């Protein structure tokens, strides 16, 4: 069966070419497939399966919304040490679907585990019995619509049949494309590092374009590594590195019911097993994991619904990191700031407004603001050499850096966001069509 990249090759995805993506290749212990269940009434891929033939250690971080999708409820209820498959569908969030939505997870898990157990018997010398509790789900799309269990179930045999035991960049892009909703491009990232003397890979995919706001950011993100790391250490590493990556982005200030970031460890690199977070051998892995997460998080922001600008807000020299975070998100989530930047208007007064409403004590005599390297406010006063024309020219850039120096401490925090354009309104008034 040929690789269907129709989602990637669609007109809305043309701004990127295949060669611009990192060269993700094979990751031992992982198999991938994707298919169309016609959830969009088109032939685009809308289902992805990740299969771990020997099981994988794993950890997940989920939405902080008080209303959880049924797939997240299912995932949280599965008390298991190993995951054998992750199934992701797009178009339907399986949220606010109640008993029907949860039963669908049970039915699909039962069916997937049966089919993968059959696959084990066909392919493995020592086949394993895969159980329903070894299956978890990611769902994304419209909230409140009946979950299309039968459509998805009908494609499970195809997903199992078409499992690719080896991967290349095209297969990774195909899988990342299968989980997109309003995204205009697939999001993939990779790093390679060492644990001790053993080389390991860290690969990741994500989707996210709208309804993006911590904690966590509204997205689906999946990290895969061939490193051998315990569930406990994976959990601690993920929670730590989420804070300055997916918990440092905001597109529109809205948090979903379906947020999910997971990491899976196949152990096939055969490094010395990591079971203690204090093990010094994981320093490089820790740093590389952060790079993958940040890469994916930035891609989510850059592909925000209707985005024409990528905005980095550096809040510097704050009394506490929490104060810096409050100020950063107050600026990032301000419609007035975002629309000014969309209009390429250096209206720094809106940034002053956003700082003021953050409920953080500010000593104006110490406050400084820069657009890139252009000084706007210096020690609480408009910079004597401030040039409006230079600021206007700077705003024409795609990447906008806003640097806010509070001047009352040593703590910093960086927030990533996008502008607010008419296209955002167009996309979200036409979301379900």
Dump pLDDT digits (tens) for 5-15: 555 555 444 45
Per-residue pLDDT, 304: 80
**Coil, strand or helix: which one is 142?**
strand
Give the closest residue to 207 by CA, choosing from 353, 340, 404, 34: 34
Distances from the Cα of 89 to the Cα of 37, 50, 136, 178, angstroms: 9, 12, 12, 8
Q: Is the pLDDT of residue 218 over 70?
A: no
How far apart are the C-alpha atoms of 5 and 188, rounded to whole Å?
Answer: 15
Q: Residue 215: what pLDDT?
A: 47
CB 413: neighbour CB atoms within 10 A? 22
Of the candidates 314, 316, 211, 200, the one whose C-alpha atom is nearest the C-alpha of residue 268 is: 200
| 218 counts as catalytic | yes
Query: Cβ distance 174 to 162 under 8 Å?
Result: no
Number of H helices, E strands in the chain: 13, 15
Higher per-residue confidence, 182 vs 25: 25
Average the pLDDT over 83-110 and give the result.
Answer: 97
- pLDDT tens-digit series, residues 98-144: 999 999 999 999 999 999 999 999 999 999 999 999 999 999 988 99
pLDDT at 176 > cutoff 90:
yes
Give residue 251's pLDDT band: very low, low, confident or very high (50, 70, 90): confident
**Would you place residue 374 in the very low, low, confident or very high pLDDT band (cuts 50, 70, 90)?**
very high
Query: Is the pLDDT assigned to residue 214 strictly greater than 60?
Result: no
Res 378: pLDDT: 98
Q: Which residue has the higher pLDDT, 141 or 358?
A: 358
Architecture of domain 6-302: 4-Layer Sandwich (3.60)
Q: Which of 90, 184, 218, 257 is catalytic?
A: 218
What average pLDDT does the structure give for the chain?
92
Q: Any idea where the domains of the chain sit in the sequence?
A: 6-302, 310-429
Predicted pLDDT at 409: 97
User: Is 310-429 a domain of CATH 3.10.20.340?
Assistant: yes
Q: What string of DSSP letters covers 339-365?
A: HHHHTT---HHHHHHHHHTT-----GG
Rama region for 351: left / alpha / beta (φ>0; ψ in -120 to 50; rest): alpha
Mean pLDDT of all residues in 258-282:
97
Supply the pLDDT for residue 424. Answer: 79
Q: Are 341 and 417 in contact (CB under 8 A)?
A: no
* Pairing outcome for strands 399-405 and 310-318: parallel
DSSP string, 156-223: HHHHHHT-BSS--HHHHHHHHHHT-SS-SS-EEEEEEEEETTEEEEEEEEEE-SSS--SSS-SSEEEE
């Amino acid at each position: 069966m040929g690789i269907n990249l129709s989602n990637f090759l669609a007109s809305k995805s043309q701004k990127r070419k295949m060669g611009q993506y990192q060269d993700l290749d094979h990751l031992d212990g992982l198999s991938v497939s994707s298919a169309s269940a016609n959830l969009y009434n088109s032939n685009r891929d809308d289902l992805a399966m990740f299969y771990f033939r020997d099981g994988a250690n794993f950890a997940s971080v989920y939405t902080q919304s008080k209303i959880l999708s049924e797939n997240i409820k299912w995932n949280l209820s599965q008390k298991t040490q190993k995951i054998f498959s992750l199934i992701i569908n797009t178009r339907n969030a399986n949220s606010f679907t109640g008993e029907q939505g949860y039963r669908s997870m049970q039915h699909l898990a039962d069916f997937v585990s049966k089919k993968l157990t059959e696959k084990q018997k066909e392919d493995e010398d020592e086949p394993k019995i895969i159980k329903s509790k070894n299956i978890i789900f990611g769902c994304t799309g419209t909230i409140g619509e009946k979950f299309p269990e039968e459509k998805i179930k009908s494609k499970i045999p195809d997903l199992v049949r078409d499992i690719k035991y080896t991967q290349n960049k095209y297969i990774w892009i195909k899988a990342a494309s299968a989980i997109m909703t309003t995204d205009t491009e697939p999001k993939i990232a990779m790093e390679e590092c060492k644990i001790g003397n053993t080389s390991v890979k860290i690969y990741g995919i994500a989707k996210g374009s709208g309804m993006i706001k911590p904690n966590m950011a509204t997205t689906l993100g999946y990290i895969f590594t061939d490193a051998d790391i315990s569930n406990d250490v994976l959990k601690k590493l993920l929670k730590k590195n989420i804070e300055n990556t997916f918990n440092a982005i905001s597109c529109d200030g809205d948090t979903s019911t379906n947020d999910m970031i997971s990491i899976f460890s196949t152990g096939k690199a055969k490094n010395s097993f990591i079971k203690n977070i204090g093990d010094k051998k994981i320093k490089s892995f820790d740093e590389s994991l952060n790079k993958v997460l940040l890469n994916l998080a930035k891609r989510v922001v850059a592909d925000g619904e209707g985005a024409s600008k990528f905005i980095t807000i550096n809040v510097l020299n704050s009394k506490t990191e929490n104060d810096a975070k409050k100020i950063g998100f107050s600026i990032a989530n301000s419609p007035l700031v975002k629309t000014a930047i969309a209009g390429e208007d250096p209206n720094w007064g809106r940034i002053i407004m956003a700082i003021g409403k953050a409920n953080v004590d500010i000593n104006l005599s110490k406050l400084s603001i820069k657009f890139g390297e252009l000084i706007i406010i210096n020690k609480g006063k408009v910079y004597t050499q401030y040039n409006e024309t230079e600021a206007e020219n700077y705003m024409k850039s795609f990447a906008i850096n806003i640097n806010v120096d509070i001047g009352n401490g040593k703590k910093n925090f960086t927030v990533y966001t996008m502008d607010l354009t008419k296209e955002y309104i167009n996309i979200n008034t036409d979301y379900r069509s």
